Amino acid sequence: MTLLRHFGEPTRRLFFKRTALPIIVVTLLVATLTTGLLLWSATQSDGVAVSRQKSLVALIISKLESGIAHDQESVTVWDDAVSALRSQDAKWVDTNLGTWMHTYFGHDEVYILDPKDAPVYAFADGSAVDPASYQSIRPTTAPLVEKLRAGLKQGDTDGVTEQVLTIGASDMVVISGHPAIVSIKPVVSDSGHIAQVPGQEFLHVAVRYLDGSLLASLRQDYLLDDAHFSWSNMLSPEEASYPLVGRSGSTVGFFVWQPYRPGAFVLFQLVPTLVVVFGLVLGGIIVALAALRRRTLRLIETENHIYHLAHYDLLTGLHSRGHFNSRLADALTLLPATGEQLAILYLDLDRFKQVNDSFGHPAGDELLREFADRLRRLTVEVDTVARLGGDEFIIIQRAVAGENEVKTLCEHLIESARRPFEVAGVQVFVGVSVGVALAPRDGVDQVELVRKADLALYHAKAGGRSGYALFEPEMDQTLAKRKGLEQDLRKALQTPGHIRVHYQPLYTADTNRMTGVEALARWSDAERGWVAPDLFVPLAEETGLIEVLGELVLRQACLDAVLWPIETLAVNVSGLQLNNPSFAMKVTSILLETQMDPRRLELEVTESTLSQRPTECQQNMAALRSVGVRFALDDFGTGFSSLGRLQSLEVDRIKIDRSFVQGFGGSNGDEAIVQAIIDLARATGLSTTAEGVETESQCNYLRKLGCDQLQGFLLSRPVPKEDLQELLDGGSRRATA
């Protein structure tokens, strides 16, 4: 035993020195390193989490102002709102411009200012109040009102897009001791039919407090614990803040919340384990790292979601406009180094509006998603496909070998869009038009490239839709001329005497007696002289001026012809006019105003017009037919016209297109076609008029075929009212051949 004790003591010291101490030291070192690693990981994770939450808060705040302005435009861009304010309809204003904005959008205060910036309506504390209460915030809002008035007077459209309909003014301010966002928008006509003096519009002032119900929704929607407003940036260690800065650069206050710190949370959970079971440090580290990894993945998932919202279109999953601009800038930067060229393809769906009108917006969204999938399948990974908004898309085609490669892609895109889309349980047909700009051939400035592609798209649509066009320098000149022509046409429509009405006589085929006239618009411009109708009438259709032009022609024609000894006054009607729900009422009003007999009026329409929106067309036609107005089907035999559909169209007369008359004597069988049209018209009880009669042989042949009425240069060219009056005074019968 003594010997064992003698050897045992050194052995224990040796064991402690050589085994236990190194293990203890290593264990302590491992524990220290592990603790340090955990602390560092927790700090880094918390830092990342706080940074990302600050980015989220920044995104929320940045979108809040634009969101309030967008809310306002739901009621400020509205004919009814303008009319109600002008007529001082207090109940309507309170319901739609005050109470609705509070209950639906959460606006805390609403004020309406008249053209002299005097308050005419106020809403606060959940109900309408004395408009004089606006005086308490006038010093704060006056600069914004002044700025907006100045922009409206100058016709400023900076920032106005398809989504932002009017200019506005907004700022972060302090109102009645509350931090708030003030947004001011003009109340304007959505149709443009109500005349308003720029700068004299009523103004809609919306106030949204940042320390009221908004905070509760932010806490609930974005899980921002203890979110509140603070005037100072004095924070506890557990809090984070984001400054609210006004337009002037001054800080209004701070948005404060307790950010979620996954690192600290996990470390706190592990401390008891580390203290109680030190021997399981390694296992604790693994558990901690696993938990930490789960938390990090959640944060990454949240960040990816935010990134996706900012860079991708929610409806189609394609790149957003902002992400497209970024990728285009990167691609253009690389062009000089690579020597490659790229193409910008600007796409716009044809007849998409008809899908929305006929089947509703959900069907339209379904079509957009399907079209986006087709675009993905037609492009390669290196290309960029983005949705700009509405039914507009854009593609960056990288590493283009030449124009032929771009043209091939365009043809594939057009062919793909021609295939039917399955929406709302039915097949619909649309189409797509494409405009192309090439870099560096057309430049390397991204704004210019997109503009040129958009300009090429306009030319593609002007060429008949479902086609494509590559940008050419001449397109800029063409656009400038078109804009000049459009401006002059607008002025002409507002200046008496610039748009005149000429009349082309209509003669019976058997007796050569003038029985009617067709009213035709003619434009005499001081610089251009007589502008061809083929030039300005399609322009009026495209720019929406056709309704003003058509109403002007109809009123003048009724005034001129009311006392003429003729049976028929024929006036052309466009698709836009006939599809307007108020068209029948306008025509009836003009007939009453001019005392024109409705039974003498014959409105000429095309079959394509009747096929676009049958509900509005049929309702207008039925209303006008009930008072005696007749209808003629113009240019029959072109476009979608067919003999088989003739019986389904409720018209009184068909006008045989001049192309068939001019084809007499050829090998196309036009005589047989005209004979078939006349026979079918007789069988269905319709009258017939042949257009474009220019020779005696055409006149005689049409008479033999049994045509009822003739019209053309052989008989008479379109003449002004004075010359037609001479024809009437001299006798309405034309000498027989």
pLDDT in tens, 279-323: 665 567 676 656 666 776 676 666 666 766 667 888 999 998 888
Q: Is the pLDDT of residue 715 over 80?
A: yes
DSSP element (H, E) containing 303: helix 281-311
Confidence of residue 735 (pLDDT cuts 50, 70, 90): very low
What would the pLDDT profile of 613-647 be if each residue is shown by its tens digit? 557 788 899 999 999 999 998 877 654 444 555 55
pTM of the model: 0.46
The sign of the CA dihedral 712, 716, 722, 726 is negative
Mean model confidence pLDDT for the chain: 84
Confidence of residue 153 (pLDDT cuts 50, 70, 90): very high
Express the helix, strand and coil content of the chain in percent, nearest 5 each: 55, 20, 25
Q: Helix, strand, or coil here: 636?
A: strand
Beta-sheet pairing, 342-349 with 127-129:
unpaired
- Please say whether the beta carbons of 469 and 459 come within 8 A: yes
Q: Is the pLDDT of residue 188 over 60?
A: yes
Output b/e per residue, 440-452; b: 16+ Cβ within 10 A: eebbeebeebbbb
Contacts of 450 (CB under 8 A, 6+ apart): 328, 344, 346, 394, 437
What is the distance between the alpha carbons of residues 563 and 594, in angstroms, rounded to a whole number? 10
State the average pLDDT over residues 59-71.
82
What is the distance between the alpha carbons of residues 212 and 419, in angstroms, rounded to a whole number? 53
What would the pLDDT profile of 526-552 be if each residue is shown by its tens digit? 777 888 887 788 788 878 888 999 999
Q: How many Å is the maximal CA-CA distance in the chain?
A: 158
- What's residue 62's pLDDT? 74
Beta-sheet pairing, 203-209 with 499-508:
unpaired
Q: Helix, strand, or coil here: 499?
A: strand
Q: Is the pLDDT of residue 478 over 90?
A: no
Q: Is the pLDDT of residue 30 over 70?
A: yes
What would the pLDDT profile of 416-475 be if each residue is shown by its tens digit? 988 888 887 888 888 899 999 998 998 889 898 998 898 888 888 877 778 899 988 887
Which of 71-75, 82-86, 253-257, 384-388 is least confident?
A: 253-257
- Please say whether the beta carbons of 258 and 225 come within 8 A: yes
What would the pLDDT profile of 125-139 be if each residue is shown by its tens digit? 889 999 999 999 999
